[in-house]
Amino acid sequence: MILYIFIGVCLLIWLVEFLFRIPKISNLSNKYVLITGCDSGFGNELAIQLDGKGIHVIASCLTEKARNELGSSLSQRSSAILMNVADHGSVQEALNKVREIIPKSEGLWGLVNNAGIGGYGGAMEWWSRDEYKRVLDVNLFGLIDVTKVFTPMLKQGRGRIVNVASICGRVVIPEAGYCISKFGVECFSDEIRVQLKAFGISVCIIEPGFFRTSLTDGFFAPVRAKWAELSPETRQEFGGQEVLESRIARVSKSLDSLPSRDTGKVVNSMEHALTAKYPKKRYSVGYDAKLYFIPLSYMPSVVTDFLFRDD
Q: Say if residues 122 and 226 touch (Cβ distance below 8 Å).
A: yes
CA dist 38 and 45 (Å) reads: 8
* Single-letter amino acid, residue 180: I
DSSP single-letter state for residue 170: T
Q: Which of 32, 178, 287, 292 is catalytic?
A: 178
Please give the order of strands across the beta sheet that includes 202-208. 79-82, 56-61, 32-35, 110-113, 160-164, 202-208, 282-285
DSSP single-letter state for residue 86: T
Q: Which residues are CB-contacts of 226 (< 8 A; sequence separation ≥ 6)?
A: 120, 122, 126, 127
What is the CA angle 181-69-206, rounded to 5?
A: 30
* Single-letter amino acid, residue 204: C
φ, ψ dihedrals at 222, nearest 5°: -65, -35
CA dist 153 and 98 (Å) reads: 10
- Stretch (H or E) spanning 6: helix 2-20
DSSP single-letter state for residue 289: I
Does residue 178 have an active-site annotation? yes
The SS3 assignment for 242 reads helix
Active centre residues (catalytic)? 178
